[in-house]
Amino acid sequence: MNRPAHTAAPPSEPTIKMKDGWHCLHLYYRVCPTALAQLDEKKRAAGREELLHLLDPARAGAPLRLQTSVVSGHKADLSLMILDPDPLVIDAVRQSIRNSALGAALVPTYSFVSITEVSEYVPTLEQYGERLKLEGTDPASPAFAAKLKAYEEREVMMRKQRLFPDFPDWPVFCFYPMNKIRHPHANWYTQPFSRRMEMMTEHGKSGMKFGGRVSQLITASTGLDDWEWGVTLWAREPAFLKEIVYTMRFDEASANYAEFGPFYVSYILPPAEAVRHLKI
Ligand code: 76R
């Protein structure tokens, strides 16, 4: 059976909040010059103030994570990435922008709904130990114990970063959705778990070579949006984006099983600078 095991959860209070993780929303807006031109300077200035307040991650009631960036190309002008345990706290940003004096001038062009998760392919401590043995580390050696201990600590941090991510302080931002394909000749979901694990381990190793240059957050969207995952990348320099995406195309998991949606590249700015840049 390829189906992932799921635990029969005991009945719990119905809720829209995430208990072990956050809701995530990527929003893209285009500035409409016609709507902007219809605002007198006073209304436009008030709208700017309203927008700056809404985009301020430090304001009371702000979602736990809120990041603003300016988009390259005609797909959009402004990008927001928002995370919170409560999807309505996230949605309140969207509705407040729509309801603000600048609402008509900020035309939604794209959005992506997802939740944070720890991938089923992140090895458990036991699986990591097995891997070390296969790679030739003697389980009785101090090196084995040290490596296992280091992984135990790293795994806690990794889990936290996947479920409750902090944003890295890097200026280049990229988002795109993706699927694992289900074609008759190449169907990810008919592969046994062991094969998928093998491919994702190769993928993880190739990704880790970009440590310090690119940071990734994979959010899950199967059942929530039109693609299965959202891929969010932060890079220290723009060229690293091209390099990582190109490199990963050669991983078996990408080369044979992945398909991608539209790519959005943007540059992270504090809201006031983004608003100035967009000449709103
Ligand atoms: O979480 C971990 O760091 C463990 C290893 C790992 C997993 C399980 C990992 C590492 N990824 C995992 C899961 Mn990834 N990742 C992508 C893309 O270009 C492509 O092929 C697709 C887009 C990039 C660029 C990327 C980068 N990864 C996943 C999954 C979920 C699969 C599932 O659960 O079924 C997807 C869709 C996906 C796609 N990956 C890494 C990276 C990088 C840079 C790493 C190293 C991470 C690090 O060092 O912290």
| Domains of the chain, residue spans | 23-116+269-277, 166-267
Pairing label, strands 65-71, 186-187: unpaired
Task: Please list the active-site residues.
Answer: 176
Contact 233, 67 (CB under 8 A): no
218 Cα: distance to centroid of ligand 1 (angstroms): 7
Alpha helices (runs of H) in the chain, residue ranges in sequence order: 33-37, 41-54, 87-99, 125-134, 142-163, 193-208, 238-248, 252-257, 271-277
Please report the pLDDT score of residue 270 as a whole number.
98
Name the percent of the chain lying above pLDDT 90.
94
Q: What is the C-alpha separation between 233 and 251, in angstroms, rounded?
A: 17
- Which of 158, 170, 175, 200 to probe ligand 1 with, by most ligand atoms within 8 A of CB? 200
pLDDT at 3 (0 to 100)? 79
Is 28 in contact with 82 (CB distance < 8 Å)?
Answer: no
- Report the alpha-carbon distance of residue 115 to residue 25 in Å, rounded: 8
Q: Which residues contact 141 (CB under 8 A, 6 or more apart)?
A: none
CATH no., domain 23-116+269-277? 3.30.70.1030
Residue 5 has pLDDT above 90, yes or no: no
The predicted-structure confidence for 104-146, as pLDDT tens digits, reads as follows 999 999 999 999 999 999 989 999 999 999 999 999 999 999 9
What pLDDT, on the 0 to 100 scale, is given for residue 19?
87
Please tell me the distance from the alpha carbon of residue 72 to that of residue 15, in angstroms, as a whole number: 38
Residue range 169-191: mean pLDDT, rounded: 97
Mean pLDDT over 253-279 rounds to 98
Q: pLDDT tens for residues 13-47? A: 999 999 899 999 999 999 999 999 999 999 999 99
Q: Which atom belonging to ligand 1 lies closest to the Cα atom of 178? A: 36
* Residue 165 Cα distances to 83, 107, 201, 209, 275, angstroms: 9, 28, 22, 20, 25
Return the structure tokens found at 56.
């301020």
Q: What is the pLDDT of residue 81?
A: 98
Mean pLDDT of 46-74: 98
Percent of the chain with pLDDT over 70: 99
pLDDT (average), residues 263-276: 98
pLDDT of 120 reads 95
Overall CATH class of domain 166-267: alpha beta
Pocket test for ligand 1, best of 209, 218, 225 (most atoms within 8 A of CB): 218
Which residues have a Cβ under 8 Å from the Cβ of 30 and sit 6 or more positions away?
A: 76, 77, 78, 106, 107, 109
pTM, two decimal places:
0.94
pLDDT (0 to 100) of residue 12: 84
Nearest protein Cα to ligand 1, atom 29: 218
Digit-coded pLDDT (tens) for 151-176: 999 999 999 999 999 999 999 999 99
pLDDT of residue 1: 56
pLDDT at 7 over 80: no
Ligand 1 centre distance from Cα of residue 68 (Å): 23
Residue 230: alpha-carbon gap to chain centroid? 6
- pLDDT of 150 over the 60 cut: yes
Pocket residues for ligand 1 (CB within 6 Å)? 119-122, 158, 178, 200, 203-204, 207-208, 210-211, 214, 216, 218, 229, 231, 233, 244-245, 248, 251, 254, 258
Average of per-residue pLDDT values in the chain: 96
Q: Is 216 helix (H, G, I), strand (E, B) or coil?
A: strand
